[in-house]
């Protein structure tokens, strides 16, 4: 099949007309990021470990990208590392802090699957995993954590923005609690970076994880800042790349494209936040009375709208929406069919029957008022049986 026929087949009329509301799963690459990727893949293809000029140029590109990320996060650029994705970054960071140790880890129960998975593994290896208590609103209960925490904990873990509900956690206050006892604090910031305003606490965490494809960069590039003030160990002995943080040749083009997408996302963040909030609120206010917005009782990101109450399994609602020209999800794409949304909702005290009805709409830079109007019309027509 020649290139044009393949392109026509992949870009069917159905796909072109689909109204996309799954930006929390992934976002289209920005044109600017695609241009950078193409240019750097051709001109800076060298291995950063090579000592000749081609390798040196590639290493210089990566160093410039590290400096950008260091400036944005308020930290030392020597702590910036690149991975194959944010899930890998979460796991390497968490394991790096506790390698060679034993003891307790305190975590938010609403974490992404990549964090919950590594915590489950660590538990089988003898670590004690304790969970932060949640307030009825879905936020971490700060008073309960303050009573629970002491210097015996090896690590604290809490996401910035929940990927199912958009609930924003009080990370700044949690970081201060952790600092009181000199406990490293790990933050999965995937759903917040480029969407919510960066705050000073980013320079005070022990580790901070970002995913390029959530804000218009390429898939296959995670970014993690490991605060040099905290000690960590290489997870895999003998690793030489990136100071031992992660093995493997760096994808220079993906790193450069991710950094360009991040630069633009941060420049546009305030305006995009306000526009998306307006679109989010239009849908929220138009929902039928029987539909509940999960997380609506606390501070949440307008980029995510998780709802319950359609009266049928969320998979059914999603498939019906797909037939009507709407792309949305039943939860995190990283664990579809494996119950991450179920885990989040049961942690928020919903029953399993209620949790099975969950669907998530998420918004991005290319979401339009017309798309929102069409979705609103469909939701108003769709009533529970």
What is the model's pLDDT at position 71? 94
Per residue in 112-140, pLDDT (tens digit) is: 999 999 999 999 999 999 999 999 889 99
- 154 vs 101: CA distance, rounded Å: 8
Residue burial 311-350, b: 16+ Cβ < 10 Å; e: rest: eeebeebbeebeeeebbbbbbbebbbeebbbbbbbebbeb
Query: Which class for 113: exposed (0-12), middle (13-18), buried (19 or more C-beta within 10 A)?
Result: buried
| Tokens linked to 210 | 């970002």
- 232 vs 205: CA distance, rounded Å: 13
The reply to whether 31-263 shares the fold of 19-29+269-378 is no
| Tokens linked to 354 | 């209620």
- What are the Cα distances from residue 209, in Å, to 79, 86, 160, 263, 306? 12, 6, 10, 16, 23
Catalytic residue among 65, 108, 158, 334: 334
What is the model's pLDDT at position 340? 55
Closest CA to 323 of 378, 362, 273: 378
- DSSP label at 27? -
Residues of the chain with pLDDT under 50: 10-15, 333, 335-339, 384-385
- 132 vs 140: CA distance, rounded Å: 7
What is the model's pLDDT at position 384? 47
| Tokens linked to 63 | 């160093």
Is residue 119 classed as helix, strand or coil in its secondary structure? helix
Closest CA to 301 of 234, 360, 223: 360
Residue burial 207-240, b: 16+ Cβ < 10 Å; e: rest: bbbbbbbbbbbbeebbbbbbbeebebebbeeeee
Query: Which class for 384: exposed (0-12), middle (13-18), buried (19 or more C-beta within 10 A)?
Result: exposed
Task: Identify the CATH number of the domain defined by range 19-29+269-378.
Answer: 3.90.1150.10
SS3 content of the chain, % helix, strand, coil (to 5): 45, 15, 40
Alpha carbons within 13 A on the beta-carbon side of 55: 7
| Tokens linked to 382 | 């769709």
What is the model's pLDDT at position 338? 44
CA of residue 330 relative to chain centroid, distance: 16
Query: Which class for 175: exposed (0-12), middle (13-18), buried (19 or more C-beta within 10 A)?
Result: buried
Closest CA to 164 of 108, 98, 230, 90: 108
What is the model's pLDDT at position 337? 45
Which residues fall within 8 angstroms of residue 124, CB to CB, at 6 or more apart? none
CA angle centred on 170, ends 266 and 216, rounded to 5°: 25
Rg of the chain over CA atoms, in angstroms? 21
Active site residue 65: no
What is the model's pLDDT at position 130? 97
Helix or strand run (H / E) with residue 44:
none
In the chain, domain spans: 19-29+269-378, 31-263
State the architecture of 31-263 in CATH terms. 3-Layer(aba) Sandwich (3.40)
pTM recorded for the entire structure: 0.91
- 365 vs 27: CA distance, rounded Å: 9
């Amino acid at each position: 099949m020649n290139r044009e026929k393949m392109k026509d087949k992949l870009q069917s009329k159905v796909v072109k007309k689909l109204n996309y509301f799954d930006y929390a799963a992934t976002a289209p690459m920005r044109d600017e990021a695609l241009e950078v990727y193409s240019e750097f893949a051709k001109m800076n293809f060298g291995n950063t470990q090579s000592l000749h000029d081609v390798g040196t140029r590639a290493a210089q590109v990566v160093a410039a990208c590290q400096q950008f990320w260091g400036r944005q996060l308020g930290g030392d650029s020597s702590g910036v590392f690149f991975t194959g994705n944010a899930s890998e970054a979460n796991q390497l960071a968490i394991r790096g802090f506790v390698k060679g140790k034993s003891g307790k880890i305190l975590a938010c129960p609403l974490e992404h699957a990549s964090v919950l998975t590594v915590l489950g593994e660590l538990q089988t290896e003898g670590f004690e995993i304790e969970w932060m208590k949640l307030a009825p609103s879905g936020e971490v209960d700060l008073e309960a954590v303050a009573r629970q925490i002491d210097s015996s904990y090896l690590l604290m873990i809490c996401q910035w923005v929940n990927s199912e509900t958009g609930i924003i956690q009080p990370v700044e206050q949690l970081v201060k609690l952790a600092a009181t006892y000199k406990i490293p604090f790990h933050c999965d910031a995937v759903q917040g970076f480029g969407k919510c305003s960066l705050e000073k606490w980013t320079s005070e965490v022990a580790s901070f994880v970002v995913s390029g494809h959530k804000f218009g960069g390429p898939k296959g590039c995670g970014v993690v800042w490991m605060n040099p003030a905290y000690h960590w160990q290489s997870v895999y002995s003998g690793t030489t790349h990136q100071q031992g943080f992660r093995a493997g040749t760096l994808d220079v083009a993906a790193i450069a494209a991710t950094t360009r997408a991040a630069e633009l996302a941060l420049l546009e963040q305030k305006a995009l936040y306000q526009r998306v909030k307006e679109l989010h609120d239009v849908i929220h206010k138009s929902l039928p009375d029987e539909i509940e917005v999960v997380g609506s009782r606390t501070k949440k990101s307008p980029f995510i709208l998780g709802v319950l109450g359609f009266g049928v399994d969320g998979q059914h609602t999603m498939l019906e929406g797909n037939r009507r020209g709407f792309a949305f999800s039943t939860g995190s794409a990283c664990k579809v069919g494996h119950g991450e949304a179920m885990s989040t909702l049961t942690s928020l005290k919903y029953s399993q029957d209620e949790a099975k009805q969950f669907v998530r709409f998420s918004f991005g830079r290319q979401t339009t008022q017309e798309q929102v109007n069409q979705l609103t019309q469909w939701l108003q027509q769709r009533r529970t049986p």
